[in-house]
Amino acid sequence: MYFVAASPVTCRLRTQAELLSQTDVPVLLTGEAGSGKATVARLIHSLSLRSSFQFVKVDCGALTAELLENDLFGSEYLGANGKSESSPGKFEQCARGTVLLEDFAAMPRSVQDCLFKLLVTRELVRCGGQTPIPVDVRVLAARQGGLEVALAENNVNHELHHRLSVFQLHVPPLRERREEIPLLLGHFMNRMARRYGVPAPRFSKDVLDACQRHSWPGNLRELENFAKRFLALGDEQAALKELQNHASLELVERKANGAGNSTGPTIISNEAGEKSSLKAVARNAKGEAERSAIRQALEETHWNRKAAARLLNISYRGLLYKIQEYRLVPPPHDTVFYSPHSVGQAK
């Protein structure tokens, strides 16, 4: 696995991960989306005595309560021949290994209660079964905020939260460890170049400087996507323009969420009077480039707004706001996906 510790905050994080890898207690990983919580979980696993066994990730917010409980704890049922059959879940499949529960606060309350019993008794009962089954697995959990609200609204089992959060590791966002950006870019680029069997292009000083000024709201995920686009385009100016498009979209998202007057600029400016190539791109490409980037993402996803928002690394609300502003409309033959929680309709 690849873990960069080139800044004071990540050096401390690695030291903490090494210490916790020698224990067998649950660990709660916190941090922004895309900051690398799963990477830290893999680091803990790889340094532990469980490293020769499986490491499994489970997205707790992606499944219904019934499906998630079956996926984690397994099930017992009557087969077509009338005989009792069983299907082991992730906790059994990952015997002596490590399970990472991503976005665990989104886990339905009934499944949380089952998880709490497992952590206390080290046993599970499959869905539809009655016999307790011993399990030997380490549980790590990750969240990216909003847990205080979930606790206040009683959506999270307080005893489970206390048991999972005895040890917490905070994974800092990329903007707090900018010195690692060149190393991470090189890693992403080399890995993708090997995958596609092409030579890895070099990043010029202008590109690296622009990357270190960018705030990277999508963190490592956004940085990796930037490297993918750079490899595909093979054009430095196009890559810089793309970076500015994403900077503009971040401002859009903040405006849509009512935070347009709070935080500082997306791009950290140079000293007064300095004119970087990125600023020149910003002056020339402001409105039309942003509109073009949004339209391209919508076309690539066949006007699936949620998928387009993920592609652009902005919120769904921010994308709807911008569709309205630019009066973008889908072609009549395309299928449009709407969310019941959408804010207004695109004109």
Do residues 123 and 133 make contact, with C-beta atoms less than 8 angstroms apart?
yes
Q: Looking at the predicted structure, is the pLDDT value of residue 140 above 90?
A: yes
Whether residue 132 is predicted with pLDDT greater than 70 in this model: the reply is yes
Distances (CA, A) of 337 to 187, 209, 221, 252, 298: 36, 39, 24, 22, 11
CA distance 147 to 205: 40
Count of all residues that appear for the chain in the document? 347
Distance (Å, whole) CA 169 – CA 37: 9
Computed from CA positions of residues 228, 233, 235, 239, in that sequence, does the dihedral angle turn out positive or negative? negative
Rounded to whole angstroms, the Cα distance separating 150 from 160 reads: 13
Q: pLDDT tens for residues 47-57? A: 999 999 999 99
pLDDT at residue 54, as a whole number: 96
Give the separation between CA 242 and CA 135, rounded to whole angstroms: 48
> Which pLDDT belongs to residue 196?
85
- Chain centroid to Cα 214, Å, comes to 18
Contacts of 288 (CB under 8 A, 6+ apart): none
292-326 pLDDT, tens per residue?
A: 778 878 888 888 888 888 878 787 777 887 887 77
CA pair distance 282, 189, nearest whole angstrom = 25
Q: What are the structure tokens assigned to 281, written together? A: 């791109």
302: left (phi over 0), alpha (psi -120 to 50) or beta: left
- Per-residue pLDDT of 87-125, as tens digits, reads 999 999 999 999 999 988 888 889 999 999 999 999 999
Q: Tens digits of per-residue pLDDT, 242-268? A: 777 665 555 555 555 554 443 333 333
Show the domains of the chain with their CATH numbers: 8-172 (3.40.50.300), 175-326 (1.10.8.60)
Instruction: Report whether 86 contacts 44 (CB < 8 A).
Output: no
pLDDT in tens, 156-181: 788 888 888 889 999 999 999 999 99
CA distance 95 to 54: 8
pLDDT at residue 329 in the model: 77
The pairing of beta strand 98-102 with beta strand 55-59: parallel
Residue 42: pLDDT above 60?
A: yes
